[in-house]
């Protein structure tokens, strides 16, 4: 994996301190208590992943409305491609799903984890 620069690390620390409500919910109610270790706001290459588990090489990205514009979709596609080049899979979950369907989001993430643990 390419090293990240000091600005990326500084930005990641700032993002950890200022998580969105949906990131807080997923982190404090699910991922921080999960039996496998997760990192939040983890630098990968020139990007910062919302959540990353190196054990199973999985990134979870939570997407707000800005991710669904043409520009946002294009940026996310490129970002995913670069993260995939490091052998890391990316799954995307909308903030709306976190807000309205949290139990099913957690089940979905657990299923993805199980798949990768078997691989």
In the chain the domains, ranked by start, together with CATH numbers, are 6-118 (3.40.960.10)
Is-contact 98 25, C-beta < 8 A? yes
Q: What is the mean pLDDT of residues 26-38?
A: 96
First-last CA distance in the chain: 21
Q: What is the mean pLDDT of residues 2-17?
A: 66
Torsion of CA 9, 12, 18, 24, to 10 degrees: -140
Q: Which is higher by pLDDT, 45 or 50?
A: 50
Query: Helix (H, G, I), strand (E, B), or coil: what is residue 42?
Result: strand
Question: pLDDT-based confidence at 75, cuts 50/70/90?
Answer: confident
């Amino acid at each position: 994996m390419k090293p990240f620069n000091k600005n990326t690390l500084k930005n990641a620390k700032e993002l950890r301190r200022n998580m969105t409500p949906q990131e807080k919910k997923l982190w404090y109610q699910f991922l921080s208590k999960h039996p496998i270790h997760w990192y939040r706001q983890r630098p990968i290459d020139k990007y910062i992943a919302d959540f990353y588990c190196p054990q199973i090489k999985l990134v979870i990205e939570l997407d707000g409305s800005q991710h669904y514009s043409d520009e946002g979709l294009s940026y996310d596609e490129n970002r995913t491609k670069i993260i995939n080049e490091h052998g890391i899979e990316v799954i995307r979950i909308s903030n709306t799903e976190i807000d309205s369907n949290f139990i099913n989001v957690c089940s979905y993430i657990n299923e993805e984890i199980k798949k990768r643990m078997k691989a």
